[in-house]
Amino acid sequence: MRYRVLGGTGIEVSTHCLGTMMFGAVGNPDHQECARIVHAALDRGVNFVDTADMYSAGESEEIVGKALQGRRDEVVLATKVHFPMGEGPNRGGNSRRWIVRAVEDSLRRLRTDRIDLYQIHRPDHRTDVEETLSVLGDLVRAGKIRSFGCSTFPPADLVEAHWTAERRALPKFRTEQPPYSLLARGVETTVLPVARRHGMGVLTWSPLASGFLTGRYRRSGTIDLSSGRAALTPHRFDPALPENLRKLDAVEQLIELAEGLGRTLPELAVAFPLAHPAVTSVIIGPRTLDQLTGLLDGADLVLDDAALDRIDEIVPPGTDLYRADGAWQSPALAPAARRRPLAERAAADA
């Protein structure tokens, strides 16, 4: 396992990061098996573990906390805050009020006295980013977190956060965690260049594109829309839709490329983000020990220029055939944010 420096933190992390979204009720409810996955990853050289308070409503953090007992110092531990963690107002978001409480809850579930990387899971345009950066800086000084970053921030929000930190003499986001895969390359246009320009470490998520790059969904096969991820968002998997056929066509060509390299499609998919110079680590999120083993077995795959050129032919750079973050949409895209009042839309009075 290779290691890279995480942004400007000086912390070295493995190029594979163990993501734990599948730990708990949403994925694998067997705590002991999940612990075995954690221990197997550590034994293979992975020293970077990423979770979030909202994964299985805190259960994932609890599993990770138990699994790391006696091995906490081996791990660069990352978690996230933002999404609602209960009913009622002020139980989520990026405000000082919520973050101060949420970090204590995460520390308790993780059974630790510090978090190495605390990430803002999504932007919150109701909260001034100055307030968010200020409380995160206070948590660093208090020793509760070592560094902090953000996840799935649009490039404009990244720039605003860095500008605010500079103007207000506040500590800045050190990392960004965007979705990036063979089918979701939109971040290559702006997010990755912005992160690189500001010296941010980049942890990419969803390398398997919600299962499209596992080889499970094929053009020639039957896609069951009643189970798994397809049941949650059938419109993203329904082969009757032209946009999904384009994904399946790309998958067939990528499988052919992977087989020509003597590799599996998942191995190709996980290797691809690491070829980009802005990317520090790719998050893999296995649900079973076999899935972890299969992904780590491909860690030595080197994609040469010929392979990357072929990938560019199949899915052009900067192209999104698949939108990974289907659960969150920028408030700027809401109808109320992009439509003037009806009476003000014409260039002249009727």
Among candidate residues 3, 55, 118, 217, the one labeled active-site is 55
Q: Determine the Cα–Cα distance for residues 43 and 337; give it in Å rounded to an integer.
A: 49
Burial of 287 by CB count in 10 Å (0-12 exposed, 13-18 middle, 19+ buried)?
middle
Identify the DSSP state of 143: T
Six-digit token pair at 277? 């110079």
- Transcribe 204-254 into DSSP letters: EB-TTGGGGGGT-S-TTS---TTSHHHHH-GGGT-TTSHHHHHHHHHHHHH
Identify the DSSP state of 19: E
Q: Determine the Cα–Cα distance for residues 222 and 207; give it in Å rounded to an integer.
A: 23
- List C-alpha distances in Å: 141 to 53, 78, 128, 135, 249: 22, 17, 21, 10, 51
Residue 217 a catalytic site member = no
CB 33 within 8 Å of CB 288: yes
Task: Of 324, 74, 296, give the one whose Cα is nearest residue 204.
Answer: 324
**Residue labelled with tokens 């087989």:** 259
Q: Determine the Cα–Cα distance for residues 117 and 168; give it in Å rounded to an integer.
A: 22
Cα first-last separation, the chain: 68
Six-digit token pair at 93? 């978001």
**Residues with catalytic roles:** 55
